[in-house]
C-alpha cells in the first residue's frame, strides 16, 4: 500500500503535466546527438532540472491560486491539493521553495557546462515559474501566461538543453523549439478555455477572459497548425533530416482534441481535450526527436 501522504503529493505535483517538461528536452538532446555533440550526463541533468522546475511551478500555482481565490469549489479542472484541504498552504509554500532549491543546486552542474548563459536561463526559469501566478504582477493573471509558456517550454528549453551539451547553438535548434512551445501554448489555451468563467469571477485576466472563448479556440488551432508546419520548415531550412517529418504522425492523436475544440466543447469535458493535447505534445516531440536522429 502506498502511504496516503505520498498519494496526496503525487496528486499535487500533477504528473499529467510532466510531459511538457520532457518534450523540449527530448528535442534538444536529439539535435545535440545528431550533431555529434551530445553529452549523456548533461542531458540527464537537463531533464531532471526541467522536471523539477515544472513540479515547482505546479506547487507554486497550487499555492498562489488558492491564496488569491482563483481556486474554488466551482473549479472544473483536476483537484488542487491546497484548495481541497489536502495540503496546508504553508506546506505547499515550503514544497515549491524546496523544489526550486533542488533545481538551483542541480543547475550548478549545468553552469559548469554552459557558463553564464545557463545561470541566466536557470534563474529566469525559476523566477518565471514563481511569477506565473505569484508575485506583484502574476503573468497568468494578466494574460501573459501564453507568452511565458511559448518561450520557456519552446526555444529556451530546447536551446538550453542543446547548449549544455554542445556548448554552442544555432538557429535551427531555436526554430525546432517553437514546435513543443506552440503545442504547450495550446495546452494552456485549453486550460484557460475551461476555466474562463471562474477565472473571470476571480479577476484572473487570461486571454480567454480578455478576448473571449472563440479567440482562444482560434489560438489553439493556429498554435497546433504552425507546430505541424514546423517539421517541413526544418527540413527545408536544414536541407536534410527528412526523418523530422515523422512528427506529423502525431496528428493521429492530435486530430481528436482539434476536433473537440472546433466543435465547441466546453466545461468539464475539456479535461479530456487537455489530456489528449498533453499526449499529442509528448508524441510530437518524441517523434521529432527520433526523426531528427534518423536523419
- CATH number of the domain located at residue range(s) 4-294 in this protein: 1.10.600
Q: What is the pLDDT of residues 135-189, one digit of tens each?
A: 788 888 888 999 999 999 999 999 999 999 999 999 999 999 999 999 999 999 9
Cα gap 226→186, rounded to integer Å: 11
Cell of 101: 532549491
Angle value at C-alpha 21, between 17 and 24, nearest 5 degrees? 135
Q: Name the band, by pLDDT with cuts 50, 70 and 90, for residue 77.
A: low
Q: Region 62-88: what's the mean pLDDT?
A: 78
Cβ distance 31 to 157 under 8 Å? no
Q: What is the pLDDT of residues 188-206, one digit of tens each?
A: 999 999 988 888 887 889 9
Helices within the chain (DSSP H only):
4-12, 19-34, 40-67, 89-114, 116-131, 145-152, 155-166, 171-194, 196-201, 207-211, 213-238, 251-262, 270-294
Confidence check: pLDDT of 2 > 80: no
pLDDT for 157 equals: 96
Cα gap 183→102, rounded to integer Å: 27
Those residues with Cβ within 8 angstroms of residue 236's Cβ, 6 or more apart along the chain or in another chain = none
Domain boundaries, the chain: 4-294
Q: For residue 7, how far is the Cα from the chain centroid?
A: 23
Q: Region 68-77: what's the mean pLDDT?
A: 64
Cell of 203: 479577476
Q: What is the pLDDT of residues 18-41, one digit of tens each?
A: 999 999 999 999 999 999 999 999
Amino acid at each position: 500500500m502506498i502511504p496516503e501522504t505520498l498519494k496526496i503529493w503525487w496528486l499535487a505535483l500533477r504528473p499529467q503535466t510532466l510531459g511538457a517538461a520532457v518534450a523540449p528536452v527530448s528535442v534538444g538532446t536529439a539535435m545535440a546527438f545528431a550533431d555529434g555533440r551530445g553529452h549523456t550526463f548533461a542531458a540527464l541533468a537537463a531533464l531532471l532540472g526541467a522536471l523539477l522546475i515544472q513540479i515547482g511551478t505546479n506547487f507554486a500555482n497550487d499555492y498562489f491560486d488558492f491564496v488569491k481565490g482563483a481556486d474554488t469549489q466551482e473549479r472544473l479542472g483536476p483537484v488542487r491539493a491546497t484548495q481541497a484541504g489536502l495540503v496546508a498552504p504553508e506546506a505547499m509554500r515550503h514544497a515549491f521553495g524546496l523544489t526550486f532549491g533542488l533545481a538551483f543546486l542541480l543547475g550548478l552542474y549545468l553552469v559548469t557546462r554552459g557558463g553564464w548563459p545557463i545561470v541566466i536561463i536557470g534563474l529566469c526559469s525559476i523566477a518565471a515559474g514563481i511569477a506565473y501566478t505569484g508575485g506583484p504582477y502574476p503573468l497568468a493573471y494578466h494574460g501573459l501566461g501564453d507568452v511565458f509558456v511559448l518561450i520557456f517550454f519552446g526555444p529556451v528549453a530546447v536551446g538550453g538543453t542543446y547548449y549544455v551539451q554542445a556548448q554552442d547553438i544555432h538557429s535551427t535548434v531555436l526554430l525546432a523549439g517553437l514546435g513543443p512551445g506552440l503545442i504547450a501554448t495550446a495546452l494552456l489555451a485549453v486550460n484557460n478555455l475551461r476555466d474562463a468563467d471562474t477565472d473571470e469571477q476571480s479577476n484572473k485576466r487570461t486571454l480567454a477572459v480578455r478576448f473571449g472563448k472563440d479567440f482562444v479556440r482560434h489560438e489553439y488551432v493556429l498554435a497546433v497548425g504552425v507546430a505541424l508546419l514546423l517539421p517541413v520548415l526544418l527540413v527545408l531550412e536544414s536541407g536534410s533530416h527528412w526523418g523530422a517529418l515523422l512528427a506529423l504522425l502525431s496528428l493521429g492523436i492530435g486530430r481528436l482534441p482539434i476536433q473537440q475544440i472546433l466543435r465547441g466543447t466546453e466545461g468539464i469535458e475539456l479535461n479530456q481535450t487537455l489530456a489528449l493535447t498533453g499526449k499529442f505534445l509528448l508524441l510530437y516531440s518524441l517523434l521529432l526527436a527520433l526523426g531528427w536522429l534518423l536523419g
